Chain A
Amino acid sequence: MSVQQRRIILRHIDEPGYTADIDCYMKHGGYATLQAAIKRPAADLVQEVVDSGLKGRGGAGFPCGVKWRFISPKNTKPVYLIANADESEPGTFKDRQIIHKDPHSAIEGIILSAYAIQAKQAFIYIRGEFPMGAKILMLAIEEARAKGFVGENICGSGYSCDIVVHRGGGAYVCGEETGLIESLEGKRGYPRIKPPYFPAVLGLYQCPTIVNNIETLTTVRYILEMGGKEYAKIGVPNDAGTHIWGVSGMVQKPGYYEIEAGKATVGQLLNELCGGPLPGRKFKAIIPGGISTKLLRFGEKFKIKDADGNEKEIGVEDIPLSAPGLMACGSSLGSAGMIVMDDSVDMTEVLANTNAFFAHESCGQCTPCRYGSLWIAKISKRICEGQGRLEDVDLLKSLADQVEMRTVCALGDALAWPVQSSVNKFRDEHLAKIQAQLDGKSLEPKQPWSLVK
């Protein structure tokens, strides 16, 4: 059986003649959900989102409705909603599609969510490298304002909410919600020390603030259109809905594919939708959900439980594309940005490239991350440059272990996981490279160009 996409969020995207303007969006049923839902009590909408089982699409997979309920019912301060469109996790490019090709679906989702949590104002924090995206969103907001869907007295309901588009400045750490809030307050994007664990308690200007990924908020529009309980039927238990898989790297057809959670495997995605490996190559490894998720090696075996609860052994290609499926295999769904490596790729260089990214993006606020990221990057670079030592492999692992769970924000974990998994799963490749250097063999990278600079 060949695998099919199930396009909910990408429903109209890439359809011939579908454009980003409001007329096209409304011709396709846009803003009807808002007009109907804004007549309902806000608490009902929150209930729908709770019922839907929607989990955040920003990487951590936190249940959306649960997060919204963290706002205290006794709260008297203004509430803010922030759509996280920082999309800076390497390998991820799903939000870009929504922003560029269907911005009104995001805006409708944002206003619906803002109404549900009774936000005074909403923001879209968009990464600085999306100047076009920011312009498209600003234009779309003005179009929606002219029709009464944004701004004062939305659809005559008496509820008012403006959306401000705010551009970032090229710092990955501002995707982290508290770094983002600092940045939105006009400061350096240093993540805040926890607790409070959730900006829903104390966020922007010390007021309750909900930060959600922009795909999450766009999904809210579709949930309210079909009803939370209906939405919950899509996907698998503990992972409702669809995921937009962004596949890049060494495949024939890199791109984005929206698939119902758990209804296809890694192999089906890569071989059927992405056209398989490049000519004459074989798949070697994937990073399933953005660069900070743990690597999976082809040839590895995993034990998972099937639908009837029986344990079975599977390989990477058989892993179901769902949060529980990937978790059972020791990795995670993350932001569903899958990076594919084939047999031409040198895994020591992959790790060095990844480590260089984190060393560059660490904000430097806490010692394990600031120091650890630089040290790790330096060691893996020296392995690639022919200066490696046999003990470096264990040293890398030990450093990563010392960074993990010891930092202010999850960037520390994000930098540790690729190191741990790569050193565990490609230990021999690392050691062989170092040994070859020690034996005085010349170091030709496998691929024609190096991945580290």
Chain B
Amino acid sequence: MNLKPETINAIDALIPRYPEKRSAMMMVLHAIQEDIGCISDEAVRWVAEKLGVSDVEVLGVVTFYPMFRQKPLPQKHVKVCRTLSCAMRGSHAVHDTLKEKLGCQCGQSEDGEFEVEYVECMAACDGAPAVMVNDELFENITPETAEAFAEKLKHGEQ
């Protein structure tokens, strides 16, 4: 596993801030996922050794939390809120449009650039329908504007 030196430094700085090493688990996993795009089997073993727990304890955490992924993330991970306030404002139609326009009907787009996924409420309900692309939040992506939004994503304008 090839973690960037910055990632390893960040992880080494993180762990001693917790009274118990194991507590750093989620933050370490986030750091790794940000670096290499997923939590691979190798990463699981690495974290287990680093935090002094068994592999299966790390795997248990990885599989419990929806945000941790065992397969590589696409370059642009598009998350559409499916919960009530967004749904009433048309988020399901937005989801379908984005999937189609970004070529993600069967999971990731062929070039591996995009993936469109449903998530639950992202605490941005006043801007429904809410969409997140990687770390960035976009509000009021309506069924009417979804196609234009997809075009912008494809051309790297957003």
Binding site for B on A (CB under 8 A): 78, 87-93, 95-96, 121, 127-132, 162, 164, 166-172, 183-189, 205, 246-250, 254-256, 287, 291, 337, 339, 341, 345, 350, 353-354, 356-357, 360-361, 363, 447-453
Contacts and interface: CB of A to CB of B under 8 A. Distances in A.
B128 interface: yes
B125 A90 contact: yes
B66 A170 contact: yes
Interface in B50-90: 51, 53, 57, 60-61, 64-68, 79, 82-85, 87-90
5 contacts: A95-B123, A171-B64, A186-B24, A353-B83, A448-B93
Contact of B67 (A88, A128, A337, A353): A128
Interface of B: 17-20, 22-27, 29-30, 51, 53, 57, 60-61, 64-68, 79, 82-85, 87-90, 92-93, 95, 118-128, 132, 135-137, 143
A21 to B, nearest CB: 20
Contact of B61 (A170, A186, A246): A186
B127 to A, nearest CB: 8
B64 A188 contact: yes
A451 B118 CA distance: 13
Given A171-B65, A171-B66, A188-B60, A88 B123 contact: yes
Nearest to B22: A186
A248 B66 CA distance: 25
Given A167-B30, A187-B61, A449-B93, A90 B83 contact: yes
A132 B123 CA distance: 13
B64 A90 contact: no
A26 to B, nearest CB: 25
Contacts of A164: 17-18
B27 A166 contact: yes
Given A91-B84, A357-B83, A189 B65 contact: yes
Nearest to B122: A129
B122 A248 contact: no
Contacts of A341: 88
A170 B51 CA distance: 22
Contacts of B89: 249
A20 to B, nearest CB: 16
Contact of A339 (B29, B84, B143): B84
A374 B145 CA distance: 34
B23 A184 contact: yes
Nearest 3 CB-CB pairs, A to B? A169-B65, A186-B25, A248-B125
A185 B20 contact: yes
B20 A339 contact: no
B26 A168 contact: yes
A185 B85 contact: no
Contacts of A350: 84, 88
B126 A255 contact: yes
A29 B95 CA distance: 45
